[in-house]
Chain A
Amino acid sequence: MKVYKKEGNVLQILCFPDEEVEKGDYLLIEEPKAGKALIAQVIDVQFANVPGILEELLRSSPDGGNIEGADFDPLEIAPHITYIQDSRLLICKVRASVNNGQLSPSKSWFPSRSRSVVKKLPVSRLLEAIQARGELPIVLGETKEGSQLVIDASSLDGRLNIVTGKKETGKSHLSKLLVLSLVQYGASVVVFDLNGEYAGLGYSSDGARNAYYHRIHVLTPGRNFKLMLGQLKLRVILSILVHALHLPGTSAREFRHIWKTLKEKNELTLYALGEAIRNWRCNIHVRDALFSRYYALVNSGIFTDNPSEASSLEEFLFKTREKGGAVVVNLRDTSSIDRQIMVEYVLGKLVELLSNWRLRAVFLFAEEAHLYLRETYWDDIVTRMRHFGIFTTFITNQPDSIRSSIYRQADNIFLFNFTNENDLEAVSKATRVDAETVKSIVRDLPPRHCLVLGRAVKDFPMVVKVRSLDVKAMGRTRLFFEKRADLLEKVTVPLEELSKASG
């Protein structure tokens, strides 16, 4: 490999056919005598612009057909021709420099074309150099070279993370891996599980209980999770009414009075609330508004007046304090309104517990948050709630559903494959890396492969094949042609047959 060009922090390296380099690989451009080096990442591989290539290709197929013949090439120059034809240009981004063995983020050193030695930098060596492993290692999976990509769990602590990629690329799988790893290190995790995918975290793939069984608490609203009104603070119920059920301000004021009155009487029940609204002296329109919200609460099935049916979120969260654990809020099969009621309640409760220091911090995993998170919460989560100790990981297959301001503030981004230009454009807004890297590498990622950006990899973007988990798969897409789909998945067509078929 030879240094060809350097423009800004983009290096172009000439690479010959016998040198195996792919997108995502790291290169070390070293000048041993000067004791300096650059670390660059290959973000694109192109054919080298060798003069005369077009003429040669055209010549090999005159008039669109093949001319049969042979070459008597006594000096065997043909291999040299193909060698040059197949030479490639590696477009690389300079990630850091090395000065006398010390890694530095400065990229200003200019390497010599003639004296520089370019070689592949094994990811394992790079990870060692950047000390990504830390004291709380999370094995994400394997790099292309077969070495483990290990990140430090503390790189997720206090951070905003995004996991995104198109459908069926492995986002939820990675999220599960992160959840279990955090639980393993004693962290409290709350998951807003939109499709009921995390319900099986406590079971291994054969259905048996796994080591996490006692630490995974699946709460299904209306089924094993019901609340009594008395468990709610006025602020939380108002949040639900105003934000989830869109109660107007005047009606909210009246509700506040009703609530306070009932609380003073120690009569905070659904029944008492209904009666109070019915008998409250107020404008008829206000009463109607309050009634409609009241029935929404009743119909959600989340609230109960029966103490034996009621559960306590606090209790589940406190269970996670000692040895770590995850509270999975199963939002599958819940209506949009009920989902919002539940999310408002959980977030309100978390803020309450965290602000009282009854909980130290919580890792919140929010799947497709745009489906239940109100507009104002986005900024709240990434700015205010972070200070309370809610460290969010957004998981979505619609990257444009997350605001660009969120991407800019994200500390870690786990990117799976995207092919759609709009999606790529949206994710490329992340400030932890340049848009070209994202667009070029993410477009070609195979399923289950993920580009890790951010603090977890010390800003050295890395591609990893996410390791498998022995966890019961839940939330699989229900198929009409189930058997046929299984068959189709097994169909493999040998390359020779394809070649034969195309003549």
Chain B
Amino acid sequence: MVIEQLPITTTPKYNFPQENIALTLPQTFLELSIQSIKTVEKQPLCLRELLNFQQDTMTTLPVPKHVIAKPISLKPKRDNSVVSAADVSSIKIGETSTGLLIAIRGAVVWKQNSDYRYLRVGPFLFHVTEENKHEIYNRLRRAYFGFVHQNRKTAGLHSTSTPNLMQMQSRLTGLFEKWLQMSMTMAENGLILWDGALTAGTPEAPLDVVERILEIARKRGAVVMGFSKMTRLRFLGYRITDLLTQSKPPCLLKLDGYSKVCGPIRLLGDIYVARLAEGNCAFRLDLDRKLPNEQHVEAVQRLLGNDIVLQGYPETLRLAHILCTFTANEVIAMQRFIANKMKLNMVSRPNIRRILFGPYGKGDGEAY
């Protein structure tokens, strides 16, 4: 299939002095982005309901029957390991008569010695419609996670069904995040920080993909660490992140006994509660289950020694989050870009509640 491209080309390798992080640019993402936004031409663009999509880890796992609740005291270990982190943001920037306009951007931040560096990729704009959603989703999966399809075919399984239109934002975000995480495994002997738990089996984080990423990282001597800002996990009715309030930071508490399987969801990491600095902030930390406990503890100690940890959260991951998040100004800029490029007529979608109920009409999501 010949894709009619806008005059935008990419260099195959990103030309930034990188010693340990090497990213091949997401050519297919770009191609599909350009291809899809061309379908939006001369349609009215509704600007309401611009909600920032933030993927968080709200996985509900069964309460454990037993927990070895003994905090492990930590000592920072400095060895000049590369600490890298990735995060992805997506936002719906508008609706057209046939679909949605979605923007996705990712950021990779790494710290070596005392320098932080970043690579921000995107934003990619997608016009997702009922007509093109299959092509976008499946082509991206094939392009970046082709091995999964191959494995599934070999195992006699069907490929994952295409999500509905409203799910496309989270699916595309998931695909892009997994692509970034895969690229980060190039860092040998490094510490790779993910935003969220090491859970798999969801459409956004297919089991085969996450397992493969972890496997590559292990082979390269890297440790993947998943930091969750929010968690629903509880122990004896208490939120697990409250378990270390009495312990002197930095410390770690391993929570054993949680089931590794919950329906289609698989837990690929051991669950810890990490309180890495003074203050009230403790986080759920998932560490690759296939690595021994000693290596888990050592990885956290290396993180403490090689990254700045403020409020118990690694600076590298914080920067990745900050860099990829869209600001309101950027949303306006993207709307302007798409409107100019595709000659769109921007309109405000009428608020049905406001029309029907006047001042008594709450926001769309506020039905009491």
Contact = CB atoms under 8 A, between A and B. Distances in A.
A84 B30 contact: no
Q: Give the one of B25, B109, B327 with max A CB within 10 A.
A: B327
Interface string A69-87: 1111111110011011100
B329 interface: yes
Given A68-B115, A75-B125, A53 B329 contact: yes
A62 interface: yes
Given A62-B322, A72-B25, A76-B8, A81 B120 contact: no
A183 B327 CA distance: 64
A115 interface: no
A85 B340 CA distance: 17
Interface in A451-470: none
Given A69-B118, A69-B119, A51 B8 contact: no
A71 B105 CA distance: 10
Interface residues of A, number: 25
A253 to B, nearest CB: 81
Interface stretch (B185-193, B205-213, B330-338): B330-338
Contacts of A63: 315
The interface residues of chain A, by DSSP majority, are classed as: mixed
A55 interface: yes
Nearest to A53: B329
A214 interface: no
Contacts of B120: 69-73
Interface string B314-326: 0100010011010
A56 interface: yes
A8 interface: no
A74 B8 contact: yes
Contacts of B124: 74-75
B328 interface: yes
A53 B325 CA distance: 13
B76 interface: no
A81 B8 contact: no
Interface in A394-443: none
B14 interface: yes
Nearest to A62: B319
Nearest to A72: B121
A71 B332 CA distance: 19
A68 B113 CA distance: 13
Contacts of B330: 52, 56, 77, 81
A59 B120 CA distance: 13
B10 A85 contact: no
A50 B332 contact: yes
B147 interface: no
Given A50-B329, A84-B333, A75 B33 contact: yes
Contacts of B319: 62, 67
B9 to A, nearest CB: 9
Contact of B117 (A62, A67, A77): A67
Contacts of A55: 325, 327
B99 interface: no
A69 B117 contact: yes
A62 B322 CA distance: 9
A51 to B, nearest CB: 3
A429 B53 CA distance: 55
B122 interface: yes
Contacts of B116: 62, 67-69
Nearest to B30: A74
A83 B333 contact: yes
**In the complex, which of the residues B118, B121, B125, B330 has the most CB atoms of chain A within 10 Å of its own CB atom?**
B330
Contacts of B315: 63
A85 B121 CA distance: 20
B328 A50 contact: yes
Interface string B156-196: 00000000000000000000000000000000000000000
Q: Which 3 A-B pairs have the closest CB atoms?
A: A52-B327, A69-B118, A51-B328
Given A62-B319, A72-B122, 6 more contacts: A59-B322, A70-B14, A73-B122, A74-B25, A80-B340, A84-B332
Interface of B: 8, 10, 14, 16, 25, 30, 33-34, 109, 115-125, 315, 319, 322-323, 325, 327-334, 336-337, 340
7 contacts: A56-B330, A67-B116, A68-B118, A70-B118, A72-B119, A74-B124, A75-B8
